[in-house]
């Protein structure tokens, strides 16, 4: 494949959010990632 085939694709990244008893901070964290890619919970 050529680089030009990827020009229209957003970069793929992985995000890991680890928390314990985070409450509202975790809600804000997850909301900030909205639309960033596929969610796996």
Tell me the per-residue pLDDT of 1-29, one tens digit each, with 9 for 90 and over.
555 555 667 667 778 888 898 889 988 98
pLDDT for position 39: 67
- The average pLDDT across 23-38 equals 83
Q: Terminus-to-terminus CA distance in the chain, angstroms?
A: 32
What is d(CA 19, CA 11) in angstroms, rounded to the nearest whole number?
Answer: 25
What pTM was estimated for this model as a whole?
Answer: 0.48
User: Phi and psi (nearest 5°) for 31?
Assistant: -65, -35
DSSP label of 33 = T
Q: Is the pLDDT of residue 33 over 70?
A: yes
């Amino acid at each position: 494949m050529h680089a030009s085939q990827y020009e229209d694709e957003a970069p793929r990244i992985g995000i890991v959010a680890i928390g314990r008893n985070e409450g509202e901070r975790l809600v804000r964290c997850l909301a900030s990632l909205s639309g960033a890619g596929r969610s796996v919970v």
